Amino acid sequence: MHWLMTSFQGGLASLASYLAAHVLLCLVPAFFIAGGLSALVPQQSIIRYLGPDAPKWMSYPAAAGAGSLLAVCSCTIQPLFAGIYKKGAGLGPAITFLFFAPAANILALSYTGVALGADFAIARILLALSFGIGIGMIMAVLFRESDVARLADTQTFATGEGISGRTLLFLGTLVALLIAGTLKLDFLKAIVLSTSIPWSGASGVQQLLDGAVPVNEGTGAEGLSLQGALLIGLLAVIGATAWRGLGKVDEGFNRLTFVTLGLVVATLVFAAMGVQVTPGGISLAVTGRTVAVIVTSLALLPQARRFDAWDVQQWLWETWRFVKMIFPLLIVGVFLVGVIRVFIQPEWVQAIAGANTVLANLAGVVFGVFMYFPTLVEVPIAKMFLSLGMHPGPLIAYLMADPELSLQSILITSAIIGKLRAWTYVGLVALFSTLAGLTYGAWFDGTSALTLGIAVAGLILLLTAMLHLIETHRRT
Amino acid sequence: MLIKILGPGCAKCNRLEQLTREAAAELGINADFEHVTQIEHFMAYPIITTPALVVDEQVKCSGRIPNKSEIMGWLKV
């Protein structure tokens, strides 16, 4: 009975700290950005650089850009992948797109940054970018013979509008909101103004919360603060109002739409304040972060008014769609991670992946390939491993391999590009994820970033040169 | 009139189909609807992004959800 209780409490603790600490200032703005990218950025604005005649120094970066900007949801990934491969720039850029998309979309990136730390997020995007382009080029070289017979279809890629200035500004403001809410900078932490509310019950409530969700530094359980509990309550209210307010916004704005948006802003502002329980009551502090969140949120309003009502409705509808699609699975995932955490002994993890060895990195990759987790759940899993003593190198190897490869994605890929190409791709992803893990692990263990950067850049340059030689050779 | 919606069956494509059906009903147009979910079949059309709306084998839009009055404009002609 005792272990049941412990594991349940573990799940609860992981959920509580997740909802209170990680979701708000990072995932809430990230969902709005994802919705904006999906609804406001015309896909053609990037697709036009991916035509059959596009030179490779344009098509590979454009493929990566498409991966991070357009492919927030899997239903855009497949058709785009097939389109780039069969009609556009070919196998190489298509593979780069496929590899880069899950690692570099705004949700994965901001969540990684907040849950695991900014260096993990930066490593994830840099390594995924260089190795994504690398794998794409290797595939293009390996299968150069069959790549000629594509349905070249220049017309599809010819026209297209760019991203309008106001869309860029709007998305930029949302990104600023995300950054203001999450970055750990001194001026954001500085206290601008503080006040205290006398409430003798405060410490009693906090004790109650500590009893329900105990703080345990040994296992990394962060406990639940009074502020956290209030924020979770606010999130639940937002969920209830958003059901109609955002879910039905495509039929026109309704009163609940504005209630929901107002609540979201209020919650973000409250989350950005410093709240401490003192013996006499509660002390509230307005920090630089609070001010920054208020300013950026308010800056969105006049900008949103300049868009067509239809565009704004699309944006909110898409945002809510992403939340509905990703959030429930994420909550279940986080809870289960907390439950499982109780049963895994740190010694096991440390024995297998405690140091940055080739074997440890391979173990990370193999785990990533055979386990399938829903979008974003790879992050709490990685966090669990980190707290259990996994070395950051193998952790990055796992983070690269898990979202890229699952049985499902392998099957879809092989249906489009054929079995041989698909399995070659799988092999390359495994190899390069291991390399990525070793690289990051080496950096963590003290090798200078410059040396590693030169090594990675050298590898990519070598591949580019090879591809270039083969292309010129074929033309003559 | 033959109306095709191209899309792998995600929320966006379903929504485009629903909007188009509503638009057709409001105009009183009797149209056949086909929701194409096979990616291989998309390739026959000059599109690369979904959802796409094809009216009588002519691509009207792709990669976004148009609003209802826009759809009505395409169906009227």
Q: According to the model, what pLDDT value does residue A194 have?
A: 83
Q: According to the model, what pLDDT value does residue A21 have?
A: 67
Residue A334 pLDDT exceeds 80: yes
Cβ–Cβ gap B49/A79 under 8 Å: yes
Q: According to the model, what pLDDT value does residue A152 have?
A: 59
* Mean pLDDT, residues A313-329 taken together: 89
- The tokens for A263 are 């609540």
Q: Which of A156, A310, A325 sits opposite B46 (nearest CB)?
A: A156
Q: Which of B40, B48, B50 sits opposite A88 (nearest CB)?
A: B48
Residue A184 pLDDT exceeds 80: no
Cβ–Cβ gap A84/B48 under 8 Å: yes
| The amino acid at A248 | K
Least confident span in A27-31, A157-161, A281-285: A157-161
Q: Which of A39, A73, A86 sits opposite B10 (nearest CB)?
A: A73
The answer to whether residue B67 neighbours chain A at the CB level (below 8 Å) is yes
Which is it for strands B32-36 and B2-6: parallel, antiparallel or unpaired?
Answer: parallel
Contact partners, residue A101, CB within 8 Å, separation at least 6: A66, A67, A68, A71, A77
Q: List % helix, strand, coil for chain B (3-state, nearest 5).
A: 40, 25, 35
CA A168 to each of CA A32, A36, A235, A295, B63: distance values in angstroms, whole numbers, following the listed order: 14, 10, 28, 18, 19
Q: Which chain A residues are Cβ-neighbours of B43 within 8 angstroms?
A: 82-83, 86-87, 151
**Exposure string over A145-170, b if 16+ CB within 10 A, otherwise e:** eebeeeebbeebbeeeeeeeeebeeb
Query: Residue A216: which of A2, A16, A1 has the closest Cα?
Result: A16
Domain spans of chain A? Answer: 2-39+166-342, 42-162+344-475
Contact partners, residue A196, CB within 8 Å, separation at least 6: A278, A280, A281, A282, A283, A284
Cβ–Cβ gap A157/B65 under 8 Å: no
Q: According to the model, what pLDDT value does residue A206 have?
A: 83
Residue A153 pLDDT exceeds 70: no
Q: According to the model, what pLDDT value does residue A300 have?
A: 92
* Mean pLDDT, residues A98-126 taken together: 87
- pLDDT by residue (tens digit) across A344-370? 888 888 888 888 899 999 999 988 888
When pLDDT is cut at 50, 70 and 90, the band that residue A310 belongs to is: confident
More confidently predicted of A364 and A411: A364
Cβ–Cβ gap A83/B49 under 8 Å: yes
Q: Which of B10, B65, B67 sits opposite A75 (nearest CB)?
A: B10
Cβ–Cβ gap B11/A321 under 8 Å: yes
Is the CB of residue A142 less than 8 Å from the CB of residue A422?
no
Residue A165 pLDDT exceeds 80: yes
Cβ–Cβ gap B13/A75 under 8 Å: yes
Q: According to the model, what pLDDT value does residue A220 have?
A: 59
The answer to whether residue B64 neighbours chain A at the CB level (below 8 Å) is yes
Query: Residue A287: which of A275, A274, A304, A300 has the closest Cα?
Result: A274
Q: According to the model, what pLDDT value does residue A174 have?
A: 93
If you count them, how many residues does chain B have?
Answer: 77
- Chain B residue with Cα closest to A156: B46
Q: How many CB atoms lie within 10 A of CB A134?
A: 23
Q: According to the model, what pLDDT value does residue A452 have?
A: 85
Residue A150 pLDDT exceeds 80: no
Q: Which chain A residues are Cβ-neighbours of B23 within 8 angstroms?
A: none
- pLDDT by residue (tens digit) across B9-67? 777 888 899 999 999 999 988 889 999 888 878 878 888 888 889 999 888 888 888 88
- The tokens for A206 are 């906090």
What is the model's pTM? 0.88
Cα distance between residue A320 and residue B12, in whole Å? 12
When pLDDT is cut at 50, 70 and 90, the band that residue A147 belongs to is: low
Domain spans of chain B? Answer: 2-76
Which among A69, A151, A310, A313 is the top mutation candidate for probing chain B, defined by the most B β-carbons within 10 Å of its own β-carbon?
A: A310
Fold observed for domain B2-76: Glutaredoxin (3.40.30)
- Tell whether omega for the bond before A102 is within 30 degrees of 0, i.e. cis: no
If you count them, how many residues does chain A have?
Answer: 476
User: What average pLDDT does the structure give for chain A?
Assistant: 85
Task: Supply the residues of B annotated as catalytic.
Answer: 10, 13
CA A307 to each of CA A188, A300, A347: distance values in angstroms, whole numbers, following the listed order: 31, 11, 56
- pLDDT by residue (tens digit) across A211-260? 777 776 666 566 788 888 888 889 899 999 998 889 888 788 888 999 99
- pLDDT by residue (tens digit) across A449-461? 888 888 888 888 8
Contact partners, residue A190, CB within 8 Å, separation at least 6: A287, A288
Residue A1 pLDDT exceeds 90: no
